A and B are shown apart, each in its own frame.
Chain A
Amino acid sequence: MEPNTLGVVLFYYRRKYRITQGELCQGICSIATLSRIEMGFKEVDSLMSEGLLGRFGKEVTRFEIILNDKDYYLWEKRNEIEASIETENYEKAFQFIKNYRKITKEEHNLHLQFCLLSHAKIELALHNDKNDICRMLIRGLDLSKPYFKINNETNYLFNQMEIEIILMLIHLEYKGWEKYEKEELLLSVFKNVSKMYSENQKENIGIRILLALLEIEQKDENNSKIIKYSDKALDFISQSRGIQSIADIRFLKAKAMEEHYRKKKSWKKYRVCCMEECLMAYYVFDLLHRKREKEEVCRFCEDKLEWQITKQEISSE
């Protein structure tokens, strides 16, 4: 039997998770196009493959595809844009985005969505007007989720790009969404991520959703929820390979535990737990050369736990 990657994979996961063609392809392509993809009569580029597969949380690279050269060229250009944003070469990034837009003008909407998201990331980094950035992001989200209504949404299939847009809107405190709506949306998306996403993508996206939930609860000083989401995030991380957010989560958990348990009888026991969380946070901040955060942990330990992380207890600086 001839292997036929994308179509077969989409059909398989659609059946497995009981998802209709309409739910999967909404905003990305027509149902007729999806049918032709599933039957192997149509090949699509890697961005559309990512868009469709991504709604199941699966990665294109999992299927070890040989890319055609135009597709590979665009993939390289996208990497170039992402790399220049990461290295804060914003002028270069703007130029790359402009060129990418020129080349992909006649292509499907996901290319424009990618450009809008990249542009928004730069504007955010340059601390430009939040409302303008939100408008750009909403325009981007509309391209692949034209029927999205936060308080009436039933289709929680989102790919990585769509989730990134949502997370940015929440971080920017987008005025079009209420706090409880954001929390409900994040929890629904998180449920799908936990159920369907591959291990890699869970690490990538799952943790970012939990961090966004933590950010919301921090603003409300809801300590029991902070502890709950921290534990969930740490559980996710333990199934992954990453290390980036661990120290922040451990420290957040320590602070929430201190607030929550200080006035209770069990404080003696939880004080030791806080100290352990702080020590773990300290070592990871040290590993990542995050001096300011290390000092914050030290100050917290001295002020709130009446305990000093001494030079003997840490690695050489």
Chain B
Amino acid sequence: MANYKAGDIIRMTRIASGISQEELCFGICSVETLSRIENGRHNVKKETYERLMMKLERIPEKNYAICTSDDMELLEEKTLLENALVKYDYKKAELYLKILKEKVSDFIVNEQYIRNTEALLDFYNHRINAEECVRRLEDALRLTAPGYDKFIDKIYPFTEQELRILMRLANSYARIDEFEKSISIYQMILRCLDEGYMIGKNVKTFQIVVMRNYANTLALLDKFKETIDLLKEIYDLSLKYNYGSMIPIILDDMAWTEMQIDKLENCYLNIEDIKNKKRQAYYIAAARNDNNIKKIIKETFEESFKEKITLF
């Protein structure tokens, strides 16, 4: 989760929407005041912030996470649901989602969360196809960002939840072979994250996840050299930000991509390096007790090379 800078949110939203300072502040505050707010030289009062954000057609509350006295339990349930999703335990995730739906209040951010998670779980549990998933994710996103596609080539201060939905949307567009749209959304997300208006340790790990999904899409388009370059960047970032659970995944992705390059060039000189990379991925996953990842790496190694991955 992230914190946000008030001035940045206002300024970035205003600029992306093509509104001048005079237009925005009319009836709310002076232009000088708005300028100082946008540049971080003035503490914006809650009421002023709300009025400015409502004029910009954005969430007026000064916190984006679900949090009212009724919703504190919701936040706990949400954490359990997120943990289940990360572990691919979709059955458990559905149980938590059911509980959330019963307790959810009418705060728009809650509604958006429910809709987007439902779409994802319905897709992973084979109740809807990829096209329907795209439609439902778009619906969820448009609850708070109705004109999100106007900002595809720009920088816009989406909330963390909106960015997560956008990432899922990009993944879903790739599934229905709309690669151009998928890539433009990934690039937009990465531009927004680079802008630095969101603060928090998890922002970097989220960026790494987006980059990995982007790399997967490039691989689907057989753009293997670009994929390798991006994977190397992700590897370095994962090390830098101590995102250990991503490292065996990226090493395995790199091994797979190098194999595809070898196949295309009909050249198999790198086979020992590729095997070593996969072994390295396997033992790092083992060191972290990441048993699902370890199993996948072992199975693909033994299938590809017809030998055991373990040394004893």
Q: Which of B72, B243, B245 is in CB contact (< 8 Å) with A12?
A: B72
Q: Do A3 and B273 touch across chains, with their CB atoms under 8 A apart?
A: no
Residue of A4, A66, A283 contacting most chain B CB atoms (<10 Å):
A66
Given A64-B2, A70-B43, A244-B242, check contact A275 B289 (CB 8 Å): no
Given A3-B107, A63-B65, A246-B288, check contact A241 B205 (CB 8 Å): yes
With A59-B1, A283-B280, A288-B239 known, 4 other A-B pairs at CB within 8 A are A3-B68, A64-B2, A68-B44, A279-B311
Q: Is A313 an interface residue (CB 8 A)?
A: yes
* Nearest CB of B to A192, in Å: 17
Within 8 A of B (CB), among A233-265: 234-235, 237-238, 240-244, 246-247, 250
* Complex alpha-carbon distance, A64 and B78, angstroms: 15
Complex interface: chain A residues within 8 A of B266 (CB): none
Number of interface residues of B (CB under 8 A): 58
Q: Is B284 an interface residue (CB 8 A)?
A: yes
Q: Do A287 and B273 touch across chains, with their CB atoms under 8 A apart?
A: no
Q: Is A103 an interface residue (CB 8 A)?
A: no
* Nearest CB of B to A212, in Å: 19
Smallest CB gap from B200: residue in A: A61
* Nearest CB of A to B81, in Å: 13
Given A5-B67, A68-B6, check contact A314 B276 (CB 8 Å): yes
Within 8 A of B (CB), among A1-52: 1-5, 8-9, 11-12, 46
Q: Do B312 and A243 touch across chains, with their CB atoms under 8 A apart?
A: no
Interface pairs (18), CB distance under 8 Å: A61-B201, A62-B1, A64-B1, A64-B65, A66-B3, A67-B5, A72-B5, A200-B202, A240-B244, A242-B242, A243-B244, A243-B284, A243-B288, A244-B242, A250-B287, A275-B312, A280-B284, A283-B283
* Complex alpha-carbon distance, A314 and B276, angstroms: 7
Q: Is B222 an interface residue (CB 8 A)?
A: no
Q: Which of A61, A65, A66, A315 is in CB contact (< 8 Å) with B277?
A: A315
Q: Which of B49, B105, B246 is in CB contact (< 8 Å) with A66?
A: B49
Q: Is B216 an interface residue (CB 8 A)?
A: no
Q: Is B290 an interface residue (CB 8 A)?
A: yes
Q: Which of B5, B202, B280 is in CB contact (< 8 Å) with A287?
A: B280
Given A3-B68, A11-B69, A66-B9, check contact A283 B242 (CB 8 Å): no
Complex interface: chain B residues within 8 A of A315 (CB): 276-277, 279-280
Q: Is A187 an interface residue (CB 8 A)?
A: no
Q: Which of A9, A200, A279 is in CB contact (< 8 Å) with B67?
A: A9
* Complex alpha-carbon distance, A195 and B29, angstroms: 48
* Complex alpha-carbon distance, A242 and B284, angstroms: 11
Complex interface: chain B residues within 8 A of A143 (CB): none
Complex interface: chain A residues within 8 A of B245 (CB): 240-241, 243
Complex interface: chain B residues within 8 A of A247 (CB): 287
Q: Do B43 and A316 touch across chains, with their CB atoms under 8 A apart?
A: no
* Complex alpha-carbon distance, A5 and B41, angstroms: 24
Complex interface: chain B residues within 8 A of A243 (CB): 242, 244-245, 247, 284, 287-288
